[in-house]
């Protein structure tokens, strides 16, 4: 799972605090002036003690850059006990807002995360924080809780934020990880879905990192159904060859009842999506898996094409024993096998059931003869007698139709597929949509 995760740590928190600090108050009168229009005032008790502390605070901050760092650090550390003396005077909501901001700033100066977090919480609890700053303060508080591994606190602070399309990209990922670290990975995935839905509702593209995060959480949490779901979501939103590789691998590796026939149709999608043209280090094993699922004796033409493609891209070595064996079996058969195609079509037409037509369709498809494969698979469906292989026939009928550009027909057939092949059908349906959109 290759998803990136925004850096979350002291440096990020500090950076946020510096930016945020320019928006907050540094003096009691300024807060009062910027307070909401409701008649909210400072208490007499707070006003009595706040003035002296504000002067001390301002005088201390003014020393920054003018005295040695060690002296400034000592001066700000001296603010901590003085700030504690102010707390008994906090009586009104506006008192709490101002006091919380002082805690936040002093905590930042002294690298006291616990004090900073208390300040952020006081600011939120005051109910007097400007509406446009509530998400910022909540995100900072949630991030600090996350770094401290206080996951319940992180969840509490971050959960309300994911309903907004303006949420910072790191927030939904932090929330999802907080849930996962608390043993609730499905709740984490739901949080990511909420954030994605909010972005889409605002006609904005959710970040690829969100899908990668969901993909990783589902996979590492061993949630089979969710792993498939997030693989589909990822390639729907970001259909890069690398993402297609990851999605097809997840579907294949997550299945417990795939035969070579299912694996073959997954490998074919890797090929069509361009994933097999990625760097050899990513796809060497995929070429081997593809060739193993083909069976060089059954589909020699496709085996030769894939083996030679793998050699040309550098993913396979021409002198490798496995590769040499595949080509030794397939090359002598390919020409003769292809020459039998017309006779196979005739046999299929004369056969009482659709089994011969389905087999003939498989052979035509392996040679890229999509139109004829479509015709034969359709014949197989109409003749019947293929109930045990119906989903396989429908899958390959749809593949042929995608190759023909008959995307709506392909999707209609893929929608009929159930059972083990359903995830494969879903992947091909997404691919059909993207081909129809010219992607």
Write down the pLDDT at residue 287. 98
Give the angle subtended at the CA of 422 by the CAs of 420 and 425, to the nearest 5°.
Answer: 130
pLDDT tens-digit profile of 37-53?
Answer: 456 788 999 999 999 99
Q: Of 338, 357, 379, which closes a domain? A: 338
Are 357 and 319 in the same domain?
no
| Domain assignment of residue 255, yes or no | no
| Domain assignment of residue 95, yes or no | yes
Half-sphere exposure of 4 (CA within 13 A, CB side): 7
Residue 60, sorted as left (phi over 0), alpha (psi -120 to 50) or beta, turns out to be alpha
Write down the pLDDT at residue 232. 94
Are 351 and 329 in the same domain?
no
Are 197 and 283 in the same domain?
no
Are 213 and 351 in the same domain?
no
| Domain assignment of residue 247, yes or no | no
Q: Of 338, 356, 384, which closes a domain? A: 338
CATH of the domain at 380: 1.25.40
pLDDT tens-digit profile of 217-263?
Answer: 999 999 988 998 999 999 999 999 999 999 999 899 888 889 999 99
Residue percentage of the chain with pLDDT more than 70? 91
Structure-token pair, residue 243: 């993402």
Separation between Cα atoms, residue 275 and residue 282, nearest integer Å? 9
Find how far residue 100's CA is from the centre of its chain. Answer: 36
Does residue 292 sit in helix, strand or coil? Answer: helix
| Domain assignment of residue 127, yes or no | yes
Write down the pLDDT at residue 39. 64
Q: Judge whether residue 199 has pLDDT over 70.
A: yes
Residue 295, sorted as left (phi over 0), alpha (psi -120 to 50) or beta, turns out to be left
Cβ atoms within 10 Å of 48's Cβ, excluding its own: 12
Q: How many domains does the chain have?
A: 4
Nearest to 243 by CA among 439, 44, 21, 9: 439
The CA-atom distances, in angstroms, between 250 and each of 13, 216, 294, 431 are: 35, 11, 20, 16
Q: Is the pTM of this model over 0.85?
A: no
Are 330 and 347 in the same domain?
no
| Long-range CB contacts (within 8 A, 24+) of 131-136 | 133/20, 133/23, 133/24, 135/161, 135/164, 135/166, 135/167, 136/16, 136/20, 136/23
Cβ atoms within 10 Å of 276's Cβ, excluding its own: 22
Nearest to 171 by CA among 141, 143, 208, 213: 143
Nearest to 356 by CA among 395, 383, 387, 390: 383
Structure-token pair, residue 215: 């993909």
Separation between Cα atoms, residue 337 and residue 356, nearest integer Å? 16
User: Which residues, in sequence order, are CB contacts of 135 under 8 Å at separation 6+?
Assistant: 161, 164, 166, 167
Separation between Cα atoms, residue 132 and residue 191, nearest integer Å? 22
| Domain assignment of residue 9, yes or no | yes
Q: Judge whether residue 5 has pLDDT over 80.
A: no
Structure-token pair, residue 293: 């699922």
Q: Judge whether residue 61 has pLDDT over 50.
A: yes
Q: What one-character DSSP code corresponds to residue 342?
A: H
| Domain assignment of residue 254, yes or no | no
Separation between Cα atoms, residue 251 and residue 12, nearest integer Å? 36
Are 139 and 162 in the same domain?
no
| Domain assignment of residue 252, yes or no | no
Are 110 and 192 in the same domain?
no
Per-residue pLDDT averaged across 268-279, rounded? 97
Structure-token pair, residue 289: 């898996």
Are 10 and 67 in the same domain?
yes
Separation between Cα atoms, residue 223 and residue 101, nearest integer Å? 43
Taking a C-beta distance cutoff of 8 angstroms, is the pair 327, 306 a contact? no
Q: Of 309, 338, 367, which closes a domain? A: 338
Are 329 and 388 in the same domain?
no
Residue 352 buriedness (CB in 10 A; 0-12 / 13-18 / 19+):
exposed
Write down the pLDDT at residue 40. 75
Helices (H) and strands (E) in the chain, counts: 24, 0
Separation between Cα atoms, residue 433 and residue 439, nearest integer Å? 9
Write down the pLDDT at residue 26. 34
pLDDT tens-digit profile of 313-341?
Answer: 999 999 999 999 999 999 999 999 999 99
Query: DSSP assignment of 41-66, as one string?
Result: ---HHHHHHHHHHHHHHHHHHTTTTT
Domain range spanning residue 375? 340-439
pLDDT tens-digit profile of 115-144?
Answer: 999 999 999 999 999 999 999 999 999 999
| Domain assignment of residue 244, yes or no | no
Are 4 and 134 in the same domain?
yes
Residue percentage of the chain with pLDDT more than 90? 86
Are 7 and 144 in the same domain?
yes
Are 20 and 140 in the same domain?
yes
Per-residue pLDDT averaged across 197-223, rounded? 96
């Amino acid at each position: 799972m290759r998803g990136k995760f925004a850096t979350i740590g002291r440096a990020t928190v500090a950076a946020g605090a510096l930016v945020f600090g320019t928006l907050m108050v540094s003096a009691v009168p300024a807060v009062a002036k910027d307070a909401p229009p409701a008649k909210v005032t400072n208490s007499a008790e707070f006003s009595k003690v706040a003035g002296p502390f504000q002067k001390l605070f301002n005088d201390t901050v003014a020393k920054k850059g003018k005295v040695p760092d060690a002296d400034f650090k000592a001066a700000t550390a001296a603010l901590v006990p003085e700030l504690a003396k102010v707390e008994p005077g906090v009586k009104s909501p506006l008192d709490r807002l101002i006091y919380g901001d002082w805690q936040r700033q002093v905590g930042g100066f002294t690298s006291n995360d616990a004090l900073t977090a208390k300040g952020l919480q006081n600011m939120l609890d005051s109910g007097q924080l400007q509406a446009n700053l509530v998400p910022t303060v909540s995100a900072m508080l949630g991030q600090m809780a996350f770094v401290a591994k206080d996951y319940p606190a992180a969840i509490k602070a971050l959960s309300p934020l994911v309903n907004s399309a303006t949420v910072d990209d790191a927030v939904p990922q932090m929330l999802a990880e907080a849930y996962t670290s608390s043993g609730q990975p499905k709740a984490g995935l739901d949080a990511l879905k909420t954030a994605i839905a909010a972005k889409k509702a605002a006609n904005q593209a959710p970040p690829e990192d969100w899908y990668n995060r969901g993909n990783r959480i589902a996979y590492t949490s061993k949630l089979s159904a969710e792993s498939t779901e997030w693989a589909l979501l990822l390639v729907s939103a970001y259909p890069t060859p690398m993402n297609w590789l990851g999605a097809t691998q997840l579907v294949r590796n997550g299945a417990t009842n795939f035969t070579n026939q299912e694996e073959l149709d997954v490998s074919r999608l890797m090929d069509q999506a361009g994933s097999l043209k990625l760097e050899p280090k990513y796809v060497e094993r995929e070429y081997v898996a593809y060739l193993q699922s083909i069976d060089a004796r059954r589909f020699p033409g496709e085996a030769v094409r894939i083996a030679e493609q793998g050699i040309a891209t550098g993913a396979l070595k021409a002198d490798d024993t496995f590769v040499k064996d595949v080509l030794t079996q397939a090359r002598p058969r390919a020409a003769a096998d292809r020459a039998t195609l017309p006779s196979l079509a005739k046999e299929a037409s004369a056969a009482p059931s659709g089994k011969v037509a389905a087999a003939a369709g498989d052979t035509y498809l392996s040679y890229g003869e999509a139109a004829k494969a479509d015709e034969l698979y359709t014949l197989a469906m109409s003749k019947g007698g293929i109930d045990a292989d119906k989903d396989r026939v429908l899958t390959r009928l749809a593949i042929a139709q995608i190759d023909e550009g008959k995307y709506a027909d392909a999707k209609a057939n893929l929608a009929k597929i159930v059972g083990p092949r359903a995830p494969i059908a879903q992947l091909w349906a997404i691919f059909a949509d993207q081909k129809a959109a010219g992607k």
